[in-house]
Amino acid sequence: MLSIGIVGLPNVGKSTLFKALTNKQVDIQNYPFTTIDPNVGVVAVPDERVDALAEFSKSKKKIYTTIEFIDIAGLIKGASQGEGLGNKFLANIREVDAIAHVVRVFNDKNITHVHSTIDPVNDIEVIKTELELADLQTKENRETKKGKELPQLDLLADKKVIYVFNASETQLAEGWQPDQKLLDTIKGSDYVVISSPLELILSEAGEDEKKEYLKEFHIKESGLDQLIKKSYHTLGLLTFLTTGEDESRAWTAHQGDLIPKASRAIHTDFEKLFIRAEVINWKTLLDNGSYAHAREKGLIKIVGRDYVIQEGDVVEIRI
Ligand SMILES: Nc1nc2c(ncn2[C@@H]2O[C@H](COP(=O)(O)OP(=O)(O)OP(=O)(O)O)[C@@H](O)[C@H]2O)c(=O)[nH]1
Ligand SMILES: [Mg+2]
């Protein structure tokens, strides 16, 4: 399962975002270091293709892909020397696939900022330095344990980062975007601009209500949807699908994966046992009303082991 660790300074809205993403009850307070023990939650990735295919096949079950989010304690300058809560919590995100770095953009004098001023560039540098220092410790620890069989080092600085700029609702409605200095600081990483309290509202709203809010704030999709898309993009992932009477289901693969490798997601033996597959784009299948129609028109491809899986493919694997 894809996992994402949420990091940032204390009191920047990490847990508010986590709660909006996972709908879990967590402690959100207006003081630094509210979160001590990490919060862990799993979210089903909303996917309209699964819904449409389930209807098409009259599937008994719909199964989405999932993402795990881990919300840890805030980090401050000197955490690696034990400042604040130290950085021992970083161990909880050592194995994540990507880091969501929450950066405070909203200005609210009632909410304490540990540096007293809103300075996203500086805040990002502080966190990056702490992650690097934590990596140094990891390396040193390995040196002292030399001779022992150690698994490959999971270094935080090597992980892909998605920046989450937490803006106020007003900034969001006014179309806030990072300025050039900030863009230079994040060096081409993917980013999203959200308002975490608004995300909380969206996560609790019904479908119609949600649409109203999105319109009001001039945003195309919720922060969750944006964050998922950026995560897939950052990590070079794609989604393919299977459908039938039992279930319609989304699966994750890497861009460029050959179909036998991608089919490991369905069953680890499939990579070895794969013979051929029938493949059709989900939309093409739906537009043609039935497998039979699509087949008559020659729209279902029969592919071998050398086929590169594509976003939105509906596959039926023969083993
Ligand atoms: N005005 C405003 N307040 C916010 C926003 N996001 C979070 N807050 C408030 O900021 C405070 C801290 O939010 P949390 O989500 O607990 O922050 P955190 O980053 O998890 O903090 P720690 O766990 O202490 O590191 C709470 O009082 C939130 O209600 C925002 O976008 N605007
Ligand atoms: Mg928190």
Tokens 């805030």: give the residue: 74
Q: Could you give the CA distance from residue 29 to residue 13 in angstroms, rounded to a whole number? A: 9
Classified as helix, coil or strand, 7 is: strand
C-alpha of residue 15 to centroid of ligand 1, in Å: 7
Provide CATH 3.40.50.300 ranges for the chain: 2-47+65-235
Average pLDDT, stretch 213-242?
A: 91
What pLDDT score does 11 carry? Answer: 92
For residue 34 the two structure tokens come to: 């509210």
**Which ligand sits closest to the CA of 74?**
1
Q: What is the pLDDT of residues 123-169, one digit of tens each?
A: 999 999 999 988 888 888 877 776 666 867 788 888 999 999 999 99
Average pLDDT, stretch 39-47?
A: 90
What pLDDT score does 218 carry? Answer: 84
CA dihedral 124, 129, 134, 135 (to 10 degrees): 100
What pLDDT score does 224 carry? Answer: 84
Residue type for position 258: L
C-alpha of residue 14 to centroid of ligand 1, in Å: 7
**CATH class, 2-47+65-235 region:** alpha beta
Nearest CA to ligand 1 atom 13: 13
Question: b/e per residue, 222-260, with b = 16+ CB within 10 A?
Answer: bbbbbbbebbbebbebbbbbbbeeebbbbbbbeeebbbb
Nearest to 254 by CA among 73, 69, 97, 81: 97
**CATH class, 256-318 region:** alpha beta
DSSP state, residue 10: T
Q: Which atom number of ligand 1 is nearest to the Cα of residue 32?
A: 24
Nearest CA to ligand 1 atom 1: 108
For the whole model, what pTM was predicted? 0.91
Provide CATH 3.10.20.30 ranges for the chain: 256-318
Ligand 1 binding residues, C-beta < 6 A: 8, 10-16, 28-30, 32-35, 73-74, 106, 108, 111, 166, 168, 195-197
What pLDDT score does 82 carry? Answer: 74
Q: Could you give the CA distance from residue 305 to residue 260 in angstroms, rounded to a whole number? A: 6
Give the H/E segment covering residue 301: strand 301-303
Bin 275: left if φ > 0, else alpha if -120 < ψ < 50, else beta: alpha
What pLDDT score does 148 carry? Answer: 62
